[in-house]
A and B are shown apart, each in its own frame.
Chain A
Amino acid sequence: MKAYIKGIGSISPQPGFGNEPFHAPVTYSEGVLRCIEPDYSTWIDQRAIRRMSKIIRIGVAAATLALKEAGIEKPDAIITGTGFGCVEDTGTFLDKLIENNEEALNPTPFIQSTHNTIGSQIALLLQCVGYNQTYSQRGLSFECALQDALMMLVENPENNILFGGVDEISDVSADFLKKLDLFSDCADSLGLFSQKQHGMIHGEGSAFFVINSSPSNAWAQIAGMASIYKPQSASEIVQQLNDLLNKASVSVEDVNLVFLGKCGDDRYDYLIHEVSNSLSHRTRKAVFKNLCGEYSNASSFALWLAAMMLKKGFVPDGILTEEKNIAKPIKVILIYNQYLNQHHSLLLLKACG
């Protein structure tokens, strides 16, 4: 069963909500890349938004945009991936629990802290009673959502499936993860890969997609995917890549561009470097985490960006690893992401039309 992306929507630390190409990416100077949030008044009912923390706002708005782009009012399934879930509300409830010594606690942050709040809020606003799933598998959360969506389409070829990935930063979570020596400062996020970095830059964002089995007006075709948990070697990843390409009847030479999910910290990038170096020097390479930062669902941003490139031919500044212009049109993109070198994923996309 072929899967076609019919609608996309993203809220990220970069402009581009509304799926408009942006050529001058924003750089951040403190190693924390927070979303550029839109004016929600046209996207979310004002009475509904009052309880929504950032992760829910950006999830609902991106999903709404994706549905609008696809011309779909109500999807048949809603599938979400989130690594850390609703950290702001979790922190708020914990905070009050300790401060008030377990008395007189507001229920709202507790209710809003469950990971499936994003997906269920979308369902509530759309009155969608269909399948609704939320995955929380750290750096493979979005990939689980995508895998489920692809299976759904095989089971129900006439369906429109909404799926996406979303994660947020809270002040507390940013502080914790920095103290855990995962994230660190960075004076110029856009220039992340032109310097040695100990510690990643912390990002957040939401990217949602609508897929169905019709190629008309599609942003791109999803030609295959693979997830690898704790790979033991670069050759294991290369093997998975070869299997993926074979199944999709795509040769390595057909791949015009490889999006590499490097994070800029050699503690985690060494396998992805090895795999990247084993690819043909003729294969164009690009990075994306200097635009969105590192978070569990960064691969969802990469998919959004890749779909934008395939449909609109748009290449933002600062992502190509070499300065040469792209000679031929981009028809096939491979996204290879890794998260803490524990979660690796491969996603193959083809242009449509």
Chain B
Amino acid sequence: MEKLITDLKVKIIDALNLKHLKPEDIGDDQPLFVQGLGLDSIDALELIVLLQQDYNIKITDPQEGPKIFRSVKTMAEYIRSHQSA
């Protein structure tokens, strides 16, 4: 799980072009949206693409986004549970 979380942080920084951040700047439980990193709805869509491209997980309803992408940890947990399914 730890490796997945670290990998995710690198991928998020790359996918969202957060050049001013390093992986260690993002807390595992830090909120990604609104406060925390302050990501927006376009970023949420980009994370949906990331899940599909890198983890083969397709999210068809964008309304699921806020729950899955609450933090890097919730993202990792979602990936884990959907990959083993």
* A contact set with B: CB distance below 8 Å: 46-47, 50-51, 103-108, 111
For this complex, 14 residue pairs linking A to B, each with C-beta atoms less than 8 Å apart, are A46-B20, A47-B20, A50-B16, A50-B18, A50-B19, A51-B17, A51-B42, A104-B52, A106-B49, A107-B42, A107-B45, A107-B46, A108-B46, A111-B42
Q: How far apart are the CA atoms of A240 and B59 in the complex, in Å? A: 60
Q: Across the interface, which residues of A come within 8 angstroms of B53, CB to CB?
A: 104
> Are A106 and B46 in touch, CB under 8 angstroms?
yes
Q: Say yes or no: B42 contacts A108, CB within 8 Å.
A: yes
List residues of chain A with CB within 8 A of the CB of B20.
46-47
Residues of B within 8 A of A (CB): 15-20, 38, 42, 45-46, 49, 52-53
B52 — nearest CB in chain A belongs to which residue?
A104
Q: Which residues of A contact B17 (CB under 8 A)?
A: 50-51
CA distance A108 to B18 in the complex (A): 14
Enumerate chain B residues within 8 angstroms of A111, measured Cβ to Cβ. 42
- Once the chains bind, are B16 and A104 in contact (CB under 8 Å)? no
CA distance A296 to B42 in the complex (A): 31
Q: Are A104 and B49 in contact (CB under 8 A)?
A: yes
**B residues in contact with A105, CB < 8 Å:** 49
Residue of A nearest to B51 (CB): A104
Nearest Cβ distance between residue A124 and chain B, in whole angstroms? 11
Q: Which single residue of chain B is at the shortest CB-CB distance from A51?
A: B17
B residues less than 8 Å from A51 (CB atoms) = 17, 42
Residues of A within 8 A of B16 (CB): 50
Question: B50 → chain A, closest Cβ, in Å?
Answer: 9
Question: How far, in Å, is A328 (CB) from chain B's closest CB?
Answer: 51
Measured CB to CB, the closest approach of chain B to A86, in angstroms, equals 15
| Nearest CB in chain B: distance from A99 CB, A | 11
Give chain B residues whose Cβ lies under 8 Å from the Cβ of A104.
Answer: 49, 52-53
CA distance A274 to B78 in the complex (A): 71
Most buried by B among A51, A103, A108: A108
* A46: chain B residues within 8 A (beta carbon): 20
> By the criterion CB–CB under 8 Å, are B42 and A47 in contact?
no
* In the A-B complex, the 3 residue pairs with the closest CB atoms: A50-B17, A104-B52, A107-B45
Given the complex of chains A and B, what is the CA–CA distance between A106 and B45 in angstroms?
A: 8
Q: How far is the CB of B58 from chain A (nearest CB, A)?
A: 8
How far is B67's CA from A331's CA once the two chains are assembled, in angstroms?
A: 65
Q: How far is the CA of A105 from the CA of B46 in the complex (A)?
A: 9
Measured in the bound complex, the distance between the Cα atoms of B53 and A106 in whole Å is 10
Tell me the complex Cα distance, A334–B65, Å: 57
Residue of A46, A47, A50, A105 with most partner-chain B CB within 10 A? A50
CA distance A106 to B17 in the complex (A): 13
Bound form: Cα–Cα A258–B46 in Å:
50
User: In the complex, which residues of chain A have a beta carbon less than 8 angstroms from the beta carbon of B45?
Assistant: 107
Distance, CA A108 to CA B53, complexed state (A): 15
Shortest CB distance B66–A (Å)? 17
Q: In the complex, A111→B46 CA distance in Å?
A: 12
- A98 nearest CB across to chain B (Å): 16
Q: Give the CA-CA distance A103 to B42 in the complex, in Å.
A: 17
Question: Taking the nearest CB of chain B, how far is it from the CB of A46, in angstroms?
Answer: 5
| Contact across chains for B46 and A47 when beta carbons are under 8 A apart | no
Chain B proximity of A13: nearest CB distance (Å): 25
Q: Which of B38, B49, B52 is A47 in contact with, Cβ under 8 Å? A: B38
Q: In the assembly, what is the distance between CA of A106 and CA of B38, in Å?
A: 19
Across the two chains, which residue of chain B brings its CB closest to A112? B42
Q: Which residues of A contact B15 (CB under 8 A)?
A: 106
Q: Which of B16, B49, B52 gathers most chain A CB within 10 Å?
A: B49
Q: Distance in Å from the Cβ of B35 to the closest Cβ of chain A?
A: 13
The smallest beta-carbon distance between A57 and chain B, in angstroms, is 13
